[in-house]
């Protein structure tokens, strides 16, 4: 398939490729320097999404009468959609996650924001939180809304909570303390201790994942990042290496839920 984008842009330095991996098909879209848009499709490989991507790229290259290396060599960037992460959540195939949270706020993930489709239907069940209550460990320490420390971080709580969570077999850890968007010193200190005690454990802190006012949104975003990391991080790392080995000199970007792009760095 081919389309034409009609605009006055003349600053394109090279080609761009966009990829999304669905449960059935992997879609690839190529935008060339003259604004032409080409699309190709290949069956997805659930156990190895990168294989479906490379097959779709091969089909795209053949359609342009190029080798895969020539195609990727002309690309400034490759943009990857977020469906792999979405499907990880929908299929329940993420990591076993533990959470270190501010003492007294252990049930934030259960309470949520109190919003319901029908506010009068109090018996309507919510989906189960990604982190069950026994894997949410409270930690002493408090930062106020202005970023001032009003209670020191309980390092012993961090150490004890980590020891308990490791016994449960967690594969990733989320840390979300109250008002960390205003001052993340406690989260950074807790992560440093965790990394020293369990250097192979992936750790995600809310002040880096979603530094926003709103305790539930910040915590749930951090837990979600930890949850999908088991599947998404190794996959994207492997894909990046495969693309580079096949001839890509541009950067691999990943779509965010807010519509922006991030690199693997």
Q: Domains of the chain by range and CATH? A: 2-88+232-263 (3.30.420.40), 92-229 (no CATH)
Cβ(241)–Cβ(66) below 8 Å: no
Confidence of residue 9 (pLDDT cuts 50, 70, 90): very low
pLDDT computed for residue 13 by the predictor: 46
Here the tokens at position 134 are: 């026994």
Band (pLDDT 50/70/90 cuts) for residue 7 is very low
User: Which is higher by pLDDT, 116 or 157?
Assistant: 157
pLDDT at 252 over 70: yes
Q: How far apart are CA 19 and CA 48, in angstroms?
A: 15
Per-residue pLDDT reduced to its tens digit, 170-196: 999 999 999 999 999 999 999 999 999
Please give the Cα distance from 80 to 100 (Å, whole number).
31
Please give the span between the terminal C-alpha atoms of the chain, in angstroms, as a whole number: 33
What is the pLDDT, as a whole number, of residue 12? 36
User: Global pTM?
Assistant: 0.85
Residue whose token pair is 């499907």: 87
Mean pLDDT of 144-148: 96
Rounded to the nearest integer, the mean pLDDT of the chain is 90
Q: What values do phi and psi take at 200, rounded to 5?
A: -95, 0
Per-residue pLDDT at 38 exceeds 90: yes
Identify the pLDDT of residue 259. Answer: 83
Sheet of strand 97-102: strand arrangement: 136-139, 97-102, 172-176, 203-205
> CA-based angle 265:255:32, to the nearest 5?
100
**For residue 14, what is the DSSP state?**
S
Identify which of 245, 136, 244 has the alpha carbon closest to the alpha carbon of residue 264.
244
DSSP 242: H
Q: Which of 69-73, 169-173, 238-242, 244-248 has the highest mean predicted lDDT (pLDDT)?
A: 169-173
Strand 136-139 and strand 15-21: the pairing is unpaired
| H-run or E-run covering 238 | helix 215-246
CA distance 125 to 181: 30
């Amino acid at each position: 398939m081919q389309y034409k984008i009609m605009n006055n842009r003349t600053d394109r330095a090279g080609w761009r490729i966009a990829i999304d991996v669905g449960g059935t098909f992997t879609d690839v879209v190529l935008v060339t320097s003259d604004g032409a848009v080409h699309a190709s499709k290949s069956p997805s490989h659930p156990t190895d999404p990168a294989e479906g991507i490379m097959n779709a790229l091969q089909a795209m290259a053949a359609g342009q009468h190029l080798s895969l290396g020539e195609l990727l060599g002309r690309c400034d960037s490759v943009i990857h959609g977020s469906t792999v992460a979405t499907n990880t959540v929908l299929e329940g195939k993420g990591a076993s996650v533990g959470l270190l949270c501010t003492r007294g706020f252990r049930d934030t993930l259960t309470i949520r924001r109190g919003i319901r489709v029908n506010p009068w239907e109090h018996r309507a069940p919510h989906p189960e939180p990604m982190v069950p209550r026994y894997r949410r460990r409270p930690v002493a320490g408090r930062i106020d809304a202005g970023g001032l420390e009003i209670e020191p971080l309980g390092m012993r709580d961090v150490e004890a909570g980590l020891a308990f969570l490791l016994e449960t077999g967690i594969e990733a850890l989320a840390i979300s303390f109250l008002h960390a968007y205003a001052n993340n010193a406690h989260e950074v200190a807790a992560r440093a201790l965790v990394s020293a005690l369990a250097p192979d454990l992936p750790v995600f802190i809310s002040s880096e994942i979603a530094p926003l006012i709103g305790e539930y949104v910040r915590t749930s975003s951090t837990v979600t990042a930890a949850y999908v990391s088991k599947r998404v991080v190794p996959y994207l790392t492997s894909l990046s290496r495969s693309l580079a080995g096949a001839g890509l000199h541009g950067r691999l970007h990943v779509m965010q839920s807010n519509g922006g792009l991030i690199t693997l760095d």
